[in-house]
Structure 1
Amino acid sequence: MTDVSTPAPWRPLRRSTLLAGLALLAGCAGPQPTDYAQETPRLDLAQYFNGRLVAHGLFTDRSGRVVKRFTVDMVGRWQGDEGVLEEDFRYSDGHTERRVWHLRKGPDGRYSGRAADVVGEAQGDAAGNALRWRYTLALNVDGRTWEVQFDDWMFLMDDRVMLNKAVMSKWGIRLGEVTLAFHKL
Structure 2
Amino acid sequence: MKPFILMRGIAVFVATLLLSSCASTNDPKLYAAEKPALELPQFFNGTIDAWGMFQDRSGKIIKRFTVVMRCEWQGDTGTLDEDFTYSDGTRQKRIWTLKKTSADNFTGTAPDVIGEAQGVVSGNTLHWNYVLALPVDGRVIHVDFDDWMVLMDDKLMLNRAIMSKYGIELGSVTLSFTKRSSK
Same-fold status (TM-score > 0.5): yes
Q: Normalising to structure 1: TM-score of the pair?
A: 0.85
Aligned residues: 165
Q: Normalising to structure 2: TM-score of the pair?
A: 0.86
2:23 and 2:85 map into 1 onto residues whose CA distance is 35
**2:163 counterpart residue number:** 168
How do residues 20-31 of structure 1 correspond to structure 2 at under 5 angstroms?
A: 26=21, 29-31=24-26
Deviation at 1:156, TM superposition (A): 0.2
**2:94 counterpart residue number:** 99
Residues 118 and 24 (structure 1 numbering): CA distance in 2 closer, same or farther, change over 3 Å? farther
Question: What do the CA deviations read for 1:76-129 (whole angstroms, capped 9, x no partner)?
Answer: 010110110000000000010000001101213101010000000000001100
Deviation at 1:28, TM superposition (A): 5.9
1:179 and 1:140 map into 2 onto residues whose CA distance is 19
2:141 and 2:32 map into 1 onto residues whose CA distance is 35
1:119 and 1:70 map into 2 onto residues whose CA distance is 23
2:147 and 2:99 map into 1 onto residues whose CA distance is 17
1:81 and 1:50 map into 2 onto residues whose CA distance is 12
Deviation at 1:174, TM superposition (A): 0.1
1:24 and 1:141 map into 2 onto residues whose CA distance is 38
Q: Contact 1:46–1:105 at 8 Å: present in 2 too?
A: no
Q: Contact 1:88–1:97 at 8 Å: present in 2 too?
A: yes
Are 2:82 and 1:111 equivalent residues in the alignment? no
1:25 and 1:75 map into 2 onto residues whose CA distance is 42
1:55 and 1:76 map into 2 onto residues whose CA distance is 13
**2:84 counterpart residue number:** 89
**Residue type of the alignment partner of 2:99:** R
2:60 equivalent among 58, 62, 65: 65
How do residues 112-127 of structure 1 correspond to structure 2 at under 5 angstroms?
A: 112-127=107-122
1:27 and 1:142 map into 2 onto residues whose CA distance is 36
Residues 155 and 102 (structure 1 numbering): CA distance in 2 closer, same or farther, change over 3 Å? same
Runs of 5+ unmatched residues, structure 2: 1-16
**Residue type of the alignment partner of 2:125:** A
**1:148 counterpart residue number:** 143
**Residue type of the alignment partner of 1:60:** Q
Residues 93 and 114 (structure 1 numbering): CA distance in 2 closer, same or farther, change over 3 Å? same
The two structures, once aligned, show a CA RMSD in angstroms of: 1.7
2:126 equivalent among 126, 131, 137: 131
Identical aligned residues as a percent: 55
2:23 and 2:83 map into 1 onto residues whose CA distance is 34
